[in-house]
A and B are shown apart, each in its own frame.
Chain A
C-alpha cells in the first residue's frame, strides 16, 4: 500500500498539467458539495431555531378538532384545558375575522395570545403596554401588504360564539419582523383577554404553546404535536431542496469522475510498456492494478488538500458573512432568513471527503481491472489495443 502510494504520487506528479486539471475540477466539486450542503444545513438550522422561537415553542397542544390546514374547523375547535394555567402552557385562541383596510376587504386569522407570555418571541409586551381599546400586533409582511403603520386603526369584523357579527376598530400597537410567514401573513395578534370578551369564549383556546418545562400528560379532546413533529414538515421541504440541489453538484462530480476515468483509460493504454516492466520486475498484476487505482484515488486526496487550501477560508468567510436571499424568497411561505449562514458539520465534511474518495477510487479501479488480464509480453511490446 505504501509502495503503491509512493509510486502513484510520483506518477501523478510526473503527469503534470493533466493531473492538476483533474485535481482542480474535483476540488471544485468537493468544495461546492460542502458549500451547498452547508447552506441547506444552515437554512435548516436557522429555520428550526426561528420556527421554535416564533411559532412552535416546545410543542403545541391542539384541540382535537383543530386542523391548521382547514379554516372551517376554527368554528368549533376550541375548549378549556383543565389546569392549563398551572402548567407551562400559553393559550392561543384562533378565530376568523375580516378587516377593511382602505376600503378593501380581507379575511384574516385573528389570534388571541396571552400578552404576558414569554414562550414565543412575539413582542406581546406591546399589547399590554398599549393604551388602545383593542391593540394588535402584525408581522412585517402583513404590514407591507396592507400598507399599515404603527398607531393606525383598522376596522375589523368578527363573529362571537353564537355566530353574531360584531365590529370595532383595532389599533396597530407594533409590527414585528420575523422570518416565519405562518405567524405573519394574513394574521393579527391581539390580547387573548380581549378576544375572549369579543367572542364570549372565556378561557377557551384553540391550542396551547408548550414552554420549556412542559411535560405532556394525555388530555381528552386535545392532541399533542411535539416540537420534532412540528419541524418535520419544514425539514422535509428543506431536504427536498437538498435533493434537487444535489443534481447540480452530482453533474459536476460526474464531469470530474469522467475526467478521471478517461485519464485512467488513456493512461493504461499509453503506459503498457511501463505496466509490462512492472510485471517483469516482479510486481504481481494486482499490485499493478492497485498502483493504477491508487493513482486515481490520489486525485481525490490531492483535491481534498487543494480544496482545503482555498475552500476553508472561502467557506468560513461565507459562513461568517452569510448568503443574501432574494426578497422573493420571503414570499415562498416557508421560513427563510434574509441572509443564510452556512453550517459545515464534521459529518458533512468527512462524508463529502469519503464520497469523493470512494467515487474516484471506483472509477479508477474499473479501467485498471484490464491490467489483470493483460499479457505482460504484449504489454512490454506496447501491442495491446
Chain B
C-alpha cells in the first residue's frame, strides 16, 4: 500500500468559458499522490490551485485528460457516484470553515456519519474521538457562532476526519487564522496524517502551511513549474 497512487492526474486541462472565449485554468497537469502524503499545491492567486483541488474532490471535472481518484475516473462519474466518492473517501476543509450554523459542534461533526448511515452508538463514539483529536470534546454542544476562528477550523478538521477518509482536501485552511492558530491547526493535521495515514492535500500560499508540508507542487499560470519533496530536519515542532 505504501507506494499506491490514490490520486493520479494525467494530462489534465481545465478550461472555463469567459465571455465569448475560454480561460485555461490548468494546462496538461501530470501528478500522482500516494496514500499518506502531506502535500501542498502552492502558487499565486489564479494559478489553478483550487481548481485542481475541486477536480480531485469531484466537485468539478476536467475538460481534457484524466483525474483518477481512488480508482474512479472523475469525468465519468455521475452526480450520484461523485457524491458517493466524496462521502466515502474525501474530507473537505474550507477557508471559511463552512460549518452548518444551526447545528452544534457535535452535530456538524456527526453529519457525514449520518450520510454514511452509521448507527447512533457508533456515531457517538466516532464523533467524540474526532473531537478529542482536535481538543474540542468540551465544546460538543456549542453552536459554531460561539466558537473562535481557530476552534471553528478545528471543528471543520474533525468533521473532515471523523469518517477517516483516504483523502483530505484543504483549501487555504489557515487563511483566516492568526499565526498561533495556524500552527496549531497544521500541527493537528500533521499528527492525524501520521496517526491515520490520511493523505492531506493543501491549496495554499501561506508560508506557515508550507513549512509543514512533505511535498510542495508549485503551480503558475495553470502549469506545474516545480514538484519537490521536502526533508524536514526535525519531526516535531
Contacts and interface: CB of A to CB of B under 8 A. Distances in A.
Interface of A: 3, 6, 10-11, 13-15, 273-274, 276-277, 279-285, 287, 376-377, 380
Interface in B117-170: 159
Contacts of A3: 114-115
Contacts of A15: 102
Contacts of B115: 3, 281-283
Contacts of B94: 277, 280, 380
B101 A280 contact: no
Top 6 A-B pairs ranked by shortest CB distance? A282-B87, A14-B102, A284-B83, A277-B98, A282-B86, A280-B92
Contact of A10 (B57, B107, B116): B107
Contact of B59 (A10, A11, A279, A283): A279
A283 B84 CA distance: 8
Contacts of B47: none
6 contacts: A11-B102, A273-B96, A273-B98, A280-B94, A282-B116, A380-B94
B59 A281 contact: no
A284 to B, nearest CB: 4
A279 B102 contact: no
Interface residues of B, number: 26
Interface string B161-183: 00000000000000000000000
Binding site of A, secondary structure by majority: helix, strand, loop or mixed?
A: helix
A280 B103 contact: no
A273 B98 CA distance: 7
B28 interface: no
Nearest to A379: B59
Given A3-B114, A3-B115, A10-B107, A282 B84 contact: yes
A282 B98 contact: no
B102 A376 contact: no
A295 B184 CA distance: 38
Which among A13, A15, A274 has the greatest number of chain B C-beta atoms within 10 A? A274
Contacts of A10: 102-103, 107
A377 B59 contact: yes
Contact of A277 (B54, B87, B100): B100
B79 A285 contact: yes
Interface in B53-105: 54, 57, 59-60, 79-80, 83-84, 86-88, 92, 94, 96, 98, 100-103
A13 B102 contact: yes
Interface of B: 54, 57, 59-60, 79-80, 83-84, 86-88, 92, 94, 96, 98, 100-103, 107, 111-112, 114-116, 159
B16 to A, nearest CB: 10
Contacts of B79: 284-285
A99 B9 CA distance: 107
Nearest to B159: A281
A279 B102 CA distance: 17
Contact of A380 (B80, B87, B98, B159): B98
Contacts of B102: 10-11, 13-15
Contacts of B80: 284
B83 A279 contact: yes
Nearest to B111: A281
Contacts of A14: 101-103
A10 B59 CA distance: 26
A359 to B, nearest CB: 26
A266 to B, nearest CB: 15
A376 B86 CA distance: 13
Contact of B92 (A11, A273, A281, A283): A281
Nearest to B60: A377
A264 B146 CA distance: 26
A274 B159 CA distance: 14
B59 A274 contact: no
A3 B100 CA distance: 15
Nearest to B92: A280
A274 B100 contact: yes
Nearest to B104: A10
Given A3-B115, A10-B102, A377 B86 contact: no
A276 B60 CA distance: 12
Contacts of A284: 79-80, 83
A166 to B, nearest CB: 89
Contacts of B54: 377
B84 to A, nearest CB: 7
Contacts of A274: 98, 100-101
Contacts of B87: 281-283
